[in-house]
A and B are shown apart, each in its own frame.
Chain A
Amino acid sequence: EVQVVESGGGLVKPGGSLRLSCAASGFPFSTYHMNWVRQAPGKGLEWVSSIRSDSRSTYYAESLKGRFTISRDNAKNSLYLQINSLRAEDTAVYYCAREGYGDSAEAFDVWGQGTMVTVSS
């Protein structure tokens, strides 16, 4: 079964750091571009970051540059998101999403169930 499973969320104090993980299975992870998308409570979807299959290129939402770092380990079929200097407005469910290949390139065709990050003192 093709799936991605996020982990690493939790309650963090403002100014703290967190590393989210996404474990992929059921597909050749190393050939797919990957993304992080977040959703604040009761709000819409917000694209956070993407990384190419070979890690050569990374992209970030303009408003989030500097505090977020996306990375991957193809040997471990894993995607990561390091978040530093956490703020209350970073409170959200963070989704890992696979970017489609071939005809469905650029589409986010596989999503995880999300991991909740709560920033509060």
Chain B
Amino acid sequence: QSVLTQPPSASGTPGQRVTISCSGSSSNIGSHYVYWYQQLPGTAPKLLIYKNDQRPSGVPDRFSGSRSGTSASLDISGLRSEDEADYYCAAWDDSLRGRVFGGGTKLTVL
């Protein structure tokens, strides 16, 4: 059972907008930055969003992040087939004194 809760799956058709949620608590998302990682099939994770809503260079602006209270979300607009991947949220947790990841959301592009 992950400290950060994500839906196990999400789906959409090309061009659609998809939102992936990440629910935590006051000891993690409520008081620390949220990070999002994309893991394409058979590859290592890749940083997608840092500090709640910042995109590293090279990440398309179709990807956006936000945080509100103890929850965060990742929005993907203009869905493309190459977005099919697993997405993980992460944050520091004061109670566990360490990093925590969400369980991951498998995005399927129909």
B58-69 interface mask toward A, CB cutoff 8 Å, 1 = contact, 0 = none? 000000000000
User: A59 to B54, Cβ gap below 8 A?
Assistant: no
Q: List the B side residues contacting A44 at CB < 8 Å.
A: 2, 86, 88, 101-104
For B91, give the chain A residue with the smallest CB separation.
Answer: A106
User: A112 to B50, Cβ gap below 8 A?
Assistant: no
Q: List the A side residues contacting B41 at CB < 8 Å.
A: none
The B-contacting residues of A in range 17-62, CB under 8 angstroms, are 35, 37, 44-47, 50, 59-62
For B103, give the chain A residue with the smallest CB separation.
Answer: A44
Shortest A98–chain B CB gap in Å is 10
User: A109 to B47, Cβ gap below 8 A?
Assistant: yes
Q: Does A121 have its Cβ within 8 Å of any Cβ on chain B?
A: no
User: B98 to A47, Cβ gap below 8 A?
Assistant: yes
Shortest B68–chain A CB gap in Å is 20
Q: List the B side residues contacting A46 at CB < 8 Å.
A: 101
Q: Given A45-B88, A114-B44, are A107 and B35 neighbors across the interface (CB < 8 Å)?
A: yes
User: B50 to A50, Cβ gap below 8 A?
Assistant: no
Tell me which of A45, A61, A106 contacts B98 (CB under 8 A): A61
Q: Does A9 have its Cβ within 8 Å of any Cβ on chain B?
A: no
Q: How many A-B residue pairs have CB under 8 A?
A: 70
10 CB < 8 A contacts A-B:
A37-B45, A37-B101, A44-B86, A44-B103, A50-B98, A50-B99, A103-B54, A104-B56, A106-B33, A108-B90
Interface size in chain A (residues, C-beta < 8 A) = 24
Bound form: Cα–Cα A35–B47 in Å: 14
B78-106 interface mask toward A, CB cutoff 8 Å, 1 = contact, 0 = none? 00000000101010100011111111100
Q: Does A113 have its Cβ within 8 Å of any Cβ on chain B?
A: yes
Shortest B90–chain A CB gap in Å is 8
Q: Does A95 have its Cβ within 8 Å of any Cβ on chain B?
A: yes
Given A47-B101, A107-B35, A109-B56, output 15 extra A-B contacts at Cβ < 8 Å.
A35-B99, A37-B45, A44-B104, A45-B45, A46-B101, A47-B98, A62-B98, A95-B45, A103-B54, A106-B50, A107-B50, A107-B51, A108-B47, A113-B44, A114-B44
